[in-house]
Amino acid sequence: MSVTKQLYQLQEVDLELESNERALKQKISQLGESSEVVEVRTELASQCQHLKGLKHQQHSAEWEIDDLTSKINTLEQKLYDGRIKNPKELTSLQHEVDGLKAIRNQSEDKALEIMGQADLAEGHIATITNELKNLEADWQLQQQHLTTDIEQLETILSDLEQKRQLILAEIDPQTVNLYQELKRQRGTAVARVDQGMCRGCQISLPTSELQRAKSGSLVRCSSCGRILFLA
């Protein structure tokens, strides 16, 4: 095999290596926590905290109502058991009972409002929990696929690396250095020749250059300096 064909093969393997390395890097960057899952998890925690606060308020309101009811019962017993005869005292007692009942009504309204809010929060929590479950399942599946893809890419890369070493072993080190230097400078070291043109710089090549390249010897494009390869 001519040295230019070997160099061209080396370039093909290098390009394939680079593209698979990019793919691997991209897949690896997708591994790990999903920001969407983290966001929904945080939202769920905050909603649970909110519900806890509402439940606490609800219990306080219920205790307050119980406390008022027991006070009202005691006063009403006094009011109706007939032991108090003084009309003034009875009227004042009745006022006290009315006042406590008004406060109790307010507390009951407040308790109802809190219960409504707690119901809403519970519904919201159920929705978020469900959403989180789905997101986590999707994420887990995606991570599994990524792991499989990464394993496949690593196998491909290791095969390509082996192929590269085999090609390199066939080329003399000085030519390999020239290849590496051109690759570093111009992105690609070897240019195909097509219809008498260097595909690296799109310039028509002199006949003498073409003929030498055709023979398989190492010829560099007089315009861009790349190594010419005729298929």
Of 205, 202, 200, 207, the residue nearest 185 (C-alpha): 200
Report in angstroms how near the CB of residue 10 gets to Zn ion at its nearest.
18
Tokens in use for 229? 């390869």
Nearer to Zn ion, 104 or 199 (CB): 199
Q: Is 189 in the site for Zn ion (CB under 5 A)?
A: no
Q: Helices 87-170 and 3-29 sit at what angle, rounded to 10 degrees?
A: 170
DSSP class of residue 187 equals S
- Using CB under 5 A, count the residues that bind Zn ion: 6
Nearer to Zn ion, 10 or 191 (CB): 191
Rounded to whole angstroms, how far apart are CA atoms 67 and 63? Answer: 6
Report in angstroms how near the CB of residue 3 gets to Zn ion at its nearest.
18
DSSP class of residue 206 equals P
Q: Is 205 in the site for Zn ion (CB under 5 A)?
A: no
Give the contacts of 179 (CB within 8 A, at least 6 positions apart): 7, 10, 11, 171, 189, 190, 227
Q: Is 221 in the site for Zn ion (CB under 5 A)?
A: yes
Report in angstroms how near the CB of residue 201 gets to Zn ion at its nearest.
3
Nearer to Zn ion, 97 or 227 (CB): 227
Q: Is 230 in the site for Zn ion (CB under 5 A)?
A: no
Q: Is 224 in the site for Zn ion (CB under 5 A)?
A: yes
Among 97, 182, 189, 200, binds Zn ion (CB under 5 A): 200
Report in angstroms how near the CB of residue 8 gets to Zn ion at its nearest.
14
Q: How many CA atoms lie within 13 A of 140 on its CB side?
A: 6
Q: Is 178 in the site for Zn ion (CB under 5 A)?
A: no
Nearer to Zn ion, 74 or 202 (CB): 202
Nearer to Zn ion, 182 or 224 (CB): 224
Among 51, 97, 114, 198, binds Zn ion (CB under 5 A): 198
Report in angstroms how near the CB of residue 152 gets to Zn ion at its nearest.
36
Rounded to whole angstroms, how far apart are CA atoms 33 and 149? Answer: 18
Give the contacts of 94 (CB within 8 A, at least 6 positions apart): 79
Q: Is 201 in the site for Zn ion (CB under 5 A)?
A: yes
Rounded to whole angstroms, how far apart are CA atoms 67 and 80? Answer: 20
Give the contacts of 217 (CB within 8 A, at least 6 positions apart): 2, 3, 4
Residue numbers at the binding site for Zn ion (CB under 5 A): 198, 200-201, 221, 223-224
